[in-house]
Amino acid sequence: PPPHSPPHLPPAPRRRVYLDHNATTPLAPEAAQAVRDAMCHAWGNPSSSHPAGRKAKELIGSARESLARMVGGRPEDIVFTSGGTEANNMVIHTARRHFRESQARLGDSWGTPHIVTSSVEHDSIRLPLEQLVKESLAETTFVPVSPRSGRAEVDDVFAAIRPTTCLVSIMLANNETGVIMPVTELSQRVHALNQRRAVEGLPRILVHTDAAQMIGKGRVDVQELGVDYLTIVGHKFYGPRIGALYVRGPGTTTPLHPMLFGGGQERSFRPGGSLMEPVWVFFPQAAELVSKNWEAYEAHMRDVRDYLEARLEASFGKQRIHLNSHFTGSKRLCNTSNFSILGPGLQGRRVLSHCKMLLASVGAACHSEKGDRPSSILLSCGIPYDVAQNALRLSVGRDTTRADVDLVVQDLVQAVAQLDQDQAL
């Protein structure tokens, strides 16, 4: 500090710009206020019949209504879970069990259940499926995405379907590239196929989409999508770190089997009392904000993200920036930019470690321990190894401004200059 400043004053904190909203988002101020209110007035056990319990039960009902409104479903179609991982595992567990039970009921022997998914899914889809394959409890086809579009194309998914297929699970939007998958078209074609399969005595194919990345950044309507299941993750849209599963008529139109057994909460589909408090406290506020404002959020985030990509190309030169999330004919999330700054020694992790202001990641937060190995998702999309190694994923939020972008681009310029200098030595 300069000689005239009092010695006991700490240095001013360095300004940080958070651009990792695909990993997690801060709690919306409205949701934080709802927490304070609920702690004082709605602390009862919703399973109890006294006034405090009834108040809590009422608030859970209101949370269910808010979530249903947000995705265009009915309140009774919403089942709360501990997070997206549990919701995804629950769908896989259900599809397998439903296949087995249908087989036993009809006295048929179809063989081992088969599940179709894409090569770019979240680990909470990929790993349970790999485990089932390892234990010979299911067979799985991981459909590669097209290097031209970055999407799991409907024709490729359909080519993987077998007589024993019981589930197709394709994410709504990818967390690293932001590419939006053709889920509506896929559902329509599966629905038509199921009608033919029923006549042939073959099992119904259930359709699931993990919508974790799409909610709050674009239109999500379960009627339009036509899916049987849709995964909802609160902390991706400024809500709580819990989740929910939309099920089209749980236990009636669409099967749903619990993985846990206990106190009977969530109509026994998902027992567990400790889950309930975050549900009624945070979820309604976060969901209402999305329902009312998603179009404004989408327009704002797209503007800031496009500005970011224009500034990067202007500052580094177009030939030095490779936009990893630009695919011909594909739509992508409004807030996501995955790019590489080309050159030796500019691996994404090294660039970030030399940034003074930028808080971001090189890809999915859950893969952050994998060192300098490039993202398997980018490699699946046909991005060359040396380009993928330099990848950075920047995901803007509702409050990110163009001024934030200017600071971040300056920060990246100084980090790259430092690394280029080190490389020249």
**Catalytic positions:** 366
Closest residue by Cα to residue 366 from 8, 59, 22: 22
Tokens of 189: 């074609």
Q: Tell me the C-alpha distance between 114 and 162, whole Å.
A: 7
| Cα 147 → chain centroid | 21
Q: Going by C-beta distance under 8 Å and a sequence separation of 6 or more, which residues neighbour residue 147?
A: 381, 382
Residue type, 138: A
Closest residue by Cα to residue 76 from 266, 222, 218: 266
Half-sphere exposure of 151 (CA within 13 A, CB side): 21
CA distances from 168 to 11, 114, 279, 351, 377 (A): 55, 9, 28, 38, 19
Q: Tell me the C-alpha distance between 91 and 223, whole Å.
A: 19
Q: Tell me the C-alpha distance between 196 and 200, whole Å.
A: 7
Q: Tell me the C-alpha distance between 376 and 410, whole Å.
A: 29
Decide if 411 contacts 382 (C-beta within 8 A): no
Q: Tell me the C-alpha distance between 219 and 215, whole Å.
A: 7
Closest residue by Cα to residue 34 from 240, 292, 273, 244: 240
